[in-house]
Amino acid sequence: MMNRSRENDLSALGTRRAFLRHSAALAAGTFAAGTVATGWLRAEETDPEKSAVGMMTPATTAAVERGLAWLAAQQEDEGSFGSGGFSRNVAVCGLSGMAFLSAGSTPRRGPHGANVERCVDFILANTQESGFINVAAASSHGPMYGHGFATLFLAECYGMTPRQDIREKLAKAVGLIVNTQNSEGGWRYHPQRHDADISVTIAQIMALRAARNGGISVPRETIDRCIEYVKRSQNADGGFMYMLQTGGQSVFPRSAAGVVALYSAGIYDSPEIKKGLNYLMAYLPRPGDFNRESHYFYGHYYAVQAMWHAGGEYWARWYPAIRDALLARQSDDGSWVDTSVCTEYGTAMATIILQMPNNYIPIFQR
């Protein structure tokens, strides 16, 4: 029999989920005037979440629980995650925190509430006076990636726990993003206005959207320039180039990010979205893809978001395919190995992807 504490936790979770979805929808209506309001309502009217019923199979739930248990055991006392060259990386910490949020835990509440709280502590401790979230020795070659993912995580936590200390540093982190947008409308590896690429840009757009959902001011001009940059980055085949300055062919990971950039900026129904989705469908997950695709977890992190937003046949085909591919690749200890970054990163990404049907986090919601 379920104990009273567990009943209360589940009741609170259901109430929180409804509140967050409502708040996110209201905030989205002003994030991109017109397109967001109608796009969001259209998605809600069709109740696309019903398509997710049954997709979180018992095997999927068990795999996620094992993955989160492994991930929780890797957290350092200071709250950081990561190994090798990515030890103490703020992106890995932010994504690990998002994995726990995706399961319904919040700071200090839920099975992994303590892990989430320590993630918050680590990121706040490494937010500079300028707003830049970074651990210099652990930033790899692109510290703005880390800044974007860490800001996204803080924004989601602030929406669940409106603490003043989180708000103050989140506002500074958002201000840094706004102030470093380049003349093309995007961002790149460092907090400077010199150049931009589609991959770093999407990390900043998602952070801005999440912050706006939580009540942090984001200038409309910043979003308009983001949208224009992403649209200009799309190739004729529906995929996305890396940089406007150099052009380049479409590839799956950054093209998935490009589609999500448009969704995050409030574009829900446009020729660019349709072309992008059709391009991505050529990469429907198959056995053995892990060894053929570069940036596998990164690409599928964004692709599953794109298909979740799209709903319908896109979602119905995509999620079971990536779910089964990930279940087949889980290690005996519950982790997912990623040799390009680190196993903590691979495990965080895999568990986020698998938990998309939970629909707990506003930034991932339709």
Architecture of domain 4-364: Alpha/alpha barrel (1.50)
Which pTM was predicted?
0.87
Reference 202, options 220, 239, 183, 229; nearest CA is: 229
Distances (CA, A) of 124 to 72, 88, 119, 215: 19, 13, 9, 19
Q: Give CA–CA dist 233/230, Å, rounded.
A: 5
Q: Summarize pLDDT for 299-340 with one digit per residue, the tens.
A: 999 999 999 999 999 999 999 999 999 999 999 999 999 999
Q: Summarize pLDDT for 100-154 with one digit per residue, the tens.
A: 999 999 999 999 999 999 999 999 999 999 999 999 888 777 899 999 999 999 9
Any idea what DSSP says for residue 86? G
Give DSSP secondary structure letters for 245-295.
TTB----HHHHHHHHHHHHHTT--SSHHHHHHHHHHHTT---TTGGGT-TT
What pLDDT, on the 0 to 100 scale, is given for residue 53?
66
What pLDDT, on the 0 to 100 scale, is given for residue 50?
65
Least confident of 40-49, 73-82, 90-99: 40-49
Q: Give CA–CA dist 34/355, Å, rounded.
A: 30
Helix, strand, coil percent content, the chain, rounded in steps of 5: 65, 5, 35
Q: Give CA–CA dist 139/147, Å, rounded.
A: 9
Q: Give CA–CA dist 326/323, Å, rounded.
A: 5
